[in-house]
A and B are shown apart, each in its own frame.
Chain A
């Protein structure tokens, strides 16, 4: 795998950092790859802008900062506005489609896939697992991390007692991503 740069953006309280952390953990610990994580968030954690920069590669990573991501995951309009223009041509945009509306900020050649992650999380019983739905969606839509590795990383990263609901959230996002992109079976669903 060539070095792949990922940025996760959203608001504090959406689990942006945990989302990036789990992706990196899945790759580095359970998929035997290399990963780095850089995190940044505003002075007030909840409700302020927050982002994670994750790099994945087969080889050790010398420079961990992400300037032009190959994959952008956004969970808030502000994160979309700020980071969408930085996506590489040919990159992938994964967005919360009930919070983010796409416009001309998406560079040419970018493929965008949306998911109503907040609603899906609420339907599962907890809005808090929105970020885990997004982890599953990322895995299903990109295949950059194996589903088995990512699910193990989810289970080993969340508080005791919450594993099962987080696992269901992961699988919900995974299935949505596989179906939407056609990576599961059949062709892609063109609603994004």
Chain B
């Protein structure tokens, strides 16, 4: 399976143009370099040890564009500056839900890149029929929370003292969600029964 519509250009608020595309088989080293370049305090909030070769091997092997859909933002010289991945299951009671994980290089934070990659992921999720997208953000990641809110996410739950920061302090984990089912409710209304003459 391939992802239609990629690669495509992203233009940030300051006019910088980047490319966005799915992760490809030969991106492993560039992806590792991206994650190893993140400050430790940024990496600490990620679920896996993304600097290890083992993680990179497993991550690359897991990509199927159906249950693991990863996008990267790249510079003209192919340097990865952001990675956003959509995770979903095709079976079971959460098959309508996808989880999004996002990391942005420090020099590209607060420039709209996170929001732009997130927009792509939300679009991909809805095109797969996903009804709800969730993300986990630590309470002091203000920029990330703002980016998610701009893309229609809201705070759904807070897990108190759920994570520890770089100094060992416990912090709250915010579960953010975006219910995109209303998009499909509009389609359901249209087919049952759509009437062009009634202004449908």
**Contact surface of A with B, Cβ cutoff 8 Å:** 12-18, 21, 37, 39, 41, 45-46, 50, 124-126, 128-129, 131, 158-162, 164-166, 168
Contact = CB atoms under 8 A, between A and B. Distances in A.
Given A131-B191, A164-B127, A165-B129, A126 B184 contact: yes
B187 A159 contact: yes
B126 A17 contact: no
Given A128-B188, A166-B187, 17 more contacts: A12-B192, A15-B190, A15-B194, A17-B194, A18-B191, A39-B197, A41-B193, A45-B193, A50-B193, A126-B129, A128-B191, A158-B187, A160-B186, A161-B123, A161-B186, A162-B126, A168-B127
Given A161-B126, A162-B126, A164-B123, A128 B187 contact: yes
B180 interface: yes
A50 B191 CA distance: 11
B193 A16 contact: yes
Interface string B99-139: 00000000000000000000000010011111000000000
A168 B123 CA distance: 14
B194 to A, nearest CB: 4
Nearest to A41: B193
Contact of A160 (B128, B130, B183): B183
Counting from the closest, the 7 A-B pairs by CB-CB distance are A125-B129, A15-B191, A164-B127, A159-B186, A161-B183, A13-B192, A45-B193
A45 B123 CA distance: 30
Contacts of A159: 183, 186-187, 190
A165 B183 CA distance: 12
Contacts of B16: none
B128 A165 contact: yes
B86 to A, nearest CB: 13
B199 interface: no
B65 to A, nearest CB: 13
A69 B5 CA distance: 38
A164 B187 contact: no
A50 B183 CA distance: 24
A128 B194 CA distance: 13
B196 interface: yes
28 contacts: A12-B192, A13-B191, A13-B193, A14-B191, A15-B191, A15-B194, A17-B195, A18-B191, A18-B194, A21-B194, A39-B196, A39-B197, A45-B192, A50-B193, A125-B127, A125-B129, A125-B130, A126-B184, A128-B191, A129-B187, A159-B187, A161-B183, A161-B186, A162-B183, A164-B4, A164-B126, A164-B127, A165-B129
